[in-house]
Structure 1
Amino acid sequence: AKKELEEVVDFLKNPAKYKALGARTPKGVILVGPSGTGKTLLAKAMAGEAKTAFYSIAGSEFMEMLVGVGAARVRDLFAQAKKNAPSIIFIDEVDAIGRMRSVGVMGGHDEREQTLNQILVEMDGFEPNTAVLIVAATNRGDLLDPALMRPGRFDRRVVLDLPDMAGRKDILAIHAKGKPFVLGTDWDKVAKRTVGFSGADIENMLNEAAIQAARENKKEIDMGDIEEAATKVKLGPEKKRLQTDLDRKMTAYHEAGHALVNYYSPHLDPVHRISIVSRGMALGFTMAQPEKDRLHETRSRLIDEIAMTMGGRAAEQIIFNEMTSGAANDIDQATRIARYMVMEFGMSDLGPINFGPQMDVTDWGKGIMEQQQISPEMMSKIDVEVQKFIHEGYKKAVEVLKKHRKELDKIANELVKKETVESEEFEALLGGPKKKAA
């Protein structure tokens, strides 16, 4: 991503070099990536590096109740940018106005469409090699109108992924400046601990660690503060809920079920922490820590993931001969994994067929006409395959927990006593580190 954007900056700094060779410089660059990966920061850095004027606006700022206001704002913004060229126009959350047209609930003539049409008109009206660059950012690139993405408009699409191990270490080094950490802080361990964190998450984590240390009147920030902050960033703050002894015991067995199935599933990342302390909407949690960045998923690992996810429900039924609502999120997660396996990854008996992405109810930008049509008969077959995967995972969870019932009791009792069990304590209870897949 950095190299692509450096090249775009060079277009603005040295346009004559490209003009002499008859090259057409890009009119637009779209930055696609999850929230917190630095899209806005990169756009500002591009303007600073190229020493150009910078105009920033969010996609939602174009939208007003009065029809025509959004289009007028687009015309004014582009006129100002042309007047002060070379310049960069940055449109954040472009999906607010750039979603696919004529598939919304309101039809094809709403204010959003007029605003989008005006942006397309302005971009098409640029003279060749006009020193105005449009940079747009979105975390939902799949919802954008194809007309925006064609050559001559947004020529470059730059994907900003979550940072890898090396990237997280660099981000940690930047945000650790000015904060007193204890001597010998293991930053490699912190970088491993933060797999799946965005740059914004990492900054927030170190800030929360500093607040945690100050709350306890410490002079320096230690690994305990960082660990607590990382958990808080991902799962939310602790909640002091009054629970009956039975509730605590049920939660302890539920989390112990997750952890024990994980331990005996060689394809899964090792357990990092188990707790029956409430956070967010959860009564407890079992956290696994990836040992490295994962680039792809395997069928074996996903089946193990379903088994681990259903381990809590399996433990409830084995110990209490009862089902609770505490497994609702687990069931939802297991179902999502199974649906991905069937509908997108081609891992079921239906064969290597892609039925299109799963739709959330919030995906209004993708209309019915854009979706792959699936017959009722095929949907029934898909449901059967999804059930097979979930039942396979649940069966494995039950087998593991019944076979290792004494260990299940041991972990649950430790959780009732201590509330939180770290990875070293967990592995000591089970006789050592988990065995990994060959």
Structure 2
Amino acid sequence: MNDNERPGGPNRGGGDNNGGNPWLKSLLIWVGILFALALVVTVFDGKSTTQTGNTIAYSAFLDKVDEGTVKDVNVSRDLISGTFSSGDKFRTYPVQDSGLMDRLRKAGVEVAGKPEEGPSIWAAMLYQMLPFLLFLGIAFFVLRQMQKGGGAGGAMGFGKSRARMLTQKEGKVTFDDVAGIDEARAELTEIVEFLKDPSKFARLGGKIPKGALLVGSPGTGKTLLARAIAGEAGVPFFTISGSDFVEMFVGVGASRVRDMFEQAKKSAPCIVFIDEIDAVGRHRGAGLGNGNDEREQTLNQLLVEMDGFEANEGIIIVAATNRPDVLDPALLRPGRFDRQVVVPRPDIDGRVKILEVHMKKVPLAPDVDARVIARGTPGFSGADLANLVNEAALMAARKGKRLVANAEFEEAKDKVMMGAERRSMVMTEDEKRMTAYHEAGHAIVALHEPASDPIHKATIIPRGRALGMVMRLPERDSYSYHRDKMYANLAVAMGGRIAEEIIFGYDKVSSGASGDIQYATGLARDMVTKWGMSDKVGPVDYAQPEGESFLGYSSSQPTHMSNETAQLIDAEIKSIVEGGLHRAKHVLTEHIDQLHSLAGALLEYETLSGEEIKKLIAGEEIGRIDQGPKSPAVPTAGTSIPKTKRPSGPFGNPSPAGA
């Protein structure tokens, strides 16, 4: 739901009022200045030759003198010029010749001297100053461009704030455009009401909050909420990113913080929105002795401005982050950020409202039901739902339709969840058969595990980075994870590998289950180290603490864990994963006929829905009139992809195969 459209206008950086390129214009100005300097040097250069005439050799000049055809000459140290009897002019360059004057007198040539001319004083000055002027011009040009990049002009533009005031009148966002996060919207609506009518709260002793921190996963609508505040408040709204404060020069960030608050004081009451505040508000001293002084100074200045000796009345700071765990505690205390507004992923009712907001601009067919789509998209954020509606509209446009139907929404949902289909990928029949049994193994185990989520779709059409996939969706939003469901997911994850072993033999097991093994190992590790679900280890937290590591190195073993405990944890993780392997093997061995039936149907139809799989297992007809488009069945030799590219996660979220 994040919308980062920037308002246009003549005061915006990156645009030129005359429609030209300011960088190119400045460059052309300096090129013109340097050309003018060179022209002045040429004009004032006393050594520039203005004489005309043909240049002849000195020996030829002497022959002409002896012949008596030279009328007159002008002699200087570096040049001899003159006129022949015929009126033609000539010039030559002298050599060391002490008898030249005697030969000229004997021949009756009129001789005139010429004073030595050096460069004029202006030319000499320009020659000396030209390199310095060139260097000064380049330095001034670079400095000017850097100051423009900083969002302010002037000689000291580095310390100016980059905060932009939102003044757009058209297309503004209001709270009507924000859906699915009613509690967060209510918290911020109160701030807007406080700005509009402070006396309503002041008569009961209430004070305006100084700051509100929006915390939520990426795509949940934090920036959209901030833009809605700007649209609703009717007061100046400054927006800036946390990364705009930090520069390579120490002290620049603190100067920008001071300048931002100075601008805000002039426009108070106002709102200042800092996006991604974790870029500047990280915990101080987390660098293990190698901290960033510039970032810490910037944070210190921000803390002082928010709650220092000088009161900043009427300035409300709204910040957003998806990493509240790394923020400095001094930034989060009351008096600075008085409210921490959690922006969660929407539930089913919230998803319905978000879909309805985005569907307003899309012509819908009568079979489209926002609640049905919302029920099939658990865990989607607002940005995911906006992308879903957009993908459905694009698919309908590609098909030449006038309305977006439910079929396009289903295709878009599959594309968003599982990746785009890659029907052009060439697979051998053996690979297709192994992929079909691998995915059938996942599906059969999922059907026979009561705690497993229902199957949404199974396919052997390559999607994203996977050659096949079994997608499961929960029936409703869940906020906790139970032990029986964890064991069921472990069994489902191991179903693909066990199916390959049962059907093709121990030596033919492929690397396609690498993603499943990675998922199962991570789940088992969390069960043992985080959730206390191992009787041998007990309800003790042995999880690796999340935080910054020194030089990228992080020990896999917490410092408070002994070697014996680490060995016990590894043994428990292995035991839990192998338990899922045995459960999957028991289910597939007992229902081997269902495994063959489902794999055969996947080879025939390539994609089956959850309802079709249930009918097939129950011995009923699937009921398809046509079998749907088929991918290339007979590939050319040597064009198959390696089997290490066949990860298949139990939730349809494949991860790259590991070695």
Question: Could you tell me the TM-score, scaled by structure 1's length?
Answer: 0.92
Q: Does the Cα contact within 8 Å between 1:70 and 1:115 map onto a contact in 2?
A: yes
**Partner deviation per Cα, 1:11-62 (whole Å, 9 max, x = no partner):** 3233334444443432111111111111011112123222121111222222
Matched with 2:445 is 261
Matched with 2:478 is 294
Residue 394 of structure 1 pairs with residue 577 of structure 2: no
| Alpha-carbon distance in structure 2 between the residues aligned to 1:225 and 1:363 | 49
Q: Does the Cα contact within 8 Å between 1:35 and 1:139 map onto a contact in 2?
A: yes
User: Where does the alignment leave 5 or more consecutive residues of structure 2 unmatched?
Assistant: 1-183, 621-659
SS in 2 for 1:56: strand
Matched with 1:243 is 427
Q: Measured at CA, do residues 168 and 372 of structure 1 come closer, stay the same or move farther in structure 2, by a change above 3 Å?
A: farther
| Alpha-carbon distance in structure 1 between the residues aligned to 2:331 and 2:337 | 6
Question: What is the deviation of 1:261?
Answer: 0.9
Matches within 5 A, 1:144-183: 144-183=327-366
Q: Does the Cα contact within 8 Å between 1:30 and 1:137 map onto a contact in 2?
A: yes
Aligned residues: 431
Matched with 2:532 is 346
| Alpha-carbon distance in structure 1 between the residues aligned to 2:231 and 2:435 | 53
Matched with 2:520 is 334
Matched with 1:226 is 409
Q: Does the Cα contact within 8 Å between 2:222 and 2:320 map onto a contact in 1?
A: yes
Q: Measured at CA, do residues 377 and 146 of structure 1 come closer, stay the same or move farther in structure 2, by a change above 3 Å?
A: farther
| Alpha-carbon distance in structure 2 between the residues aligned to 1:356 and 1:159 | 25
Report the AA paired with residue 609 of structure 2: E
Q: Measured at CA, do residues 177 and 418 of structure 1 come closer, stay the same or move farther in structure 2, by a change above 3 Å?
A: same
SS in 1 for 2:237: strand
| Residue of structure 2 aligned with 1:60, choices 240, 243, 247 | 243
Matched with 2:491 is 307
**Partner deviation per Cα, 1:372-429 (whole Å, 9 max, x = no partner):** 7333332222222222221111111111111111111111111122221112211111
| Alpha-carbon distance in structure 2 between the residues aligned to 1:23 and 1:165 | 36
Of the structure 1 ranges 397-406 and 319-328, higher mean CA displacement relative to structure 2 is found in 319-328
User: Where does the alignment leave 5 or more consecutive residues of structure 1 unmatched?
Assistant: 434-438
Report the AA paired with residue 570 of structure 2: D
Matched with 2:398 is 215
Matched with 1:431 is 618
Q: Measured at CA, do residues 377 and 29 of structure 1 come closer, stay the same or move farther in structure 2, by a change above 3 Å?
A: farther
SS in 1 for 2:338: strand
| Alpha-carbon distance in structure 2 between the residues aligned to 1:425 and 1:70 | 61
| Alpha-carbon distance in structure 2 between the residues aligned to 1:86 and 1:366 | 47
Residue 110 of structure 1 pairs with residue 297 of structure 2: no
Percent of counterpart pairs with the same letter?
Answer: 50
| Alpha-carbon distance in structure 1 between the residues aligned to 2:492 and 2:545 | 22
Question: Could you tell me the TM-score, scaled by structure 2's length?
Answer: 0.62
Of the structure 1 ranges 312-321 and 104-113, higher mean CA displacement relative to structure 2 is found in 104-113
| Residue of structure 1 aligned with 2:510, choices 316, 324, 331 | 324
Q: Does the Cα contact within 8 Å between 1:30 and 1:135 map onto a contact in 2?
A: yes
Matched with 1:9 is 192
Residue 28 of structure 1 pairs with residue 211 of structure 2: yes
| Residue of structure 2 aligned with 1:280, choices 459, 464, 469 | 464
Q: Does the Cα contact within 8 Å between 1:31 and 1:136 map onto a contact in 2?
A: yes
| Alpha-carbon distance in structure 1 between the residues aligned to 2:218 and 2:559 | 28
Q: Measured at CA, do residues 361 and 278 of structure 1 come closer, stay the same or move farther in structure 2, by a change above 3 Å?
A: farther
| Alpha-carbon distance in structure 2 between the residues aligned to 1:378 and 1:124 | 47
SS in 2 for 1:31: strand
Residue 421 of structure 1 pairs with residue 608 of structure 2: yes
Question: What is the deviation of 1:129?
Answer: 7.3
| Alpha-carbon distance in structure 2 between the residues aligned to 1:403 and 1:161 | 43
Report the AA paired with residue 46 of structure 1: I
Q: Measured at CA, do residues 49 and 166 of structure 1 come closer, stay the same or move farther in structure 2, by a change above 3 Å?
A: same
| Alpha-carbon distance in structure 2 between the residues aligned to 1:427 and 1:373 | 49
Q: Does the Cα contact within 8 Å between 2:287 and 2:550 map onto a contact in 1?
A: no
Q: Measured at CA, do residues 111 and 283 of structure 1 come closer, stay the same or move farther in structure 2, by a change above 3 Å?
A: farther
SS in 2 for 1:312: helix
Residue 47 of structure 1 pairs with residue 224 of structure 2: no
Q: Measured at CA, do residues 203 and 122 of structure 1 come closer, stay the same or move farther in structure 2, by a change above 3 Å?
A: same
| Alpha-carbon distance in structure 2 between the residues aligned to 1:295 and 1:289 | 14
SS in 2 for 1:295: coil
**Partner deviation per Cα, 1:188-233 (whole Å, 9 max, x = no partner):** 2211111111111111111111111111122222222111111212
Of the structure 1 ranges 302-311 and 113-122, higher mean CA displacement relative to structure 2 is found in 113-122
Question: What is the deviation of 1:136?
Answer: 1.1
Q: Which runs of 4+ in 1 moved over 6 A?
A: 360-368
Of the structure 1 ranges 239-248 and 354-363, higher mean CA displacement relative to structure 2 is found in 354-363
| Residue of structure 2 aligned with 1:76, choices 259, 265, 277 | 259
| Alpha-carbon distance in structure 1 between the residues aligned to 2:551 and 2:333 | 22
Q: Does the Cα contact within 8 Å between 1:344 and 1:357 map onto a contact in 2?
A: no
Matched with 1:375 is 562
| Alpha-carbon distance in structure 2 between the residues aligned to 1:262 and 1:253 | 14
RMSD value, Cα: 2.5
Identify the structure with bigger relative contact order (alpha carbons < 8 Å, sequence gap 6+): 1
| Alpha-carbon distance in structure 2 between the residues aligned to 1:8 and 1:106 | 40
| Alpha-carbon distance in structure 2 between the residues aligned to 1:127 and 1:44 | 28
| Residue of structure 1 aligned with 2:436, choices 233, 252, 256 | 252
Question: What is the deviation of 1:367?
Answer: 8.9
| Alpha-carbon distance in structure 1 between the residues aligned to 2:461 and 2:300 | 52
SS in 1 for 2:240: strand
| Residue of structure 2 aligned with 1:130, choices 313, 331, 335 | 313
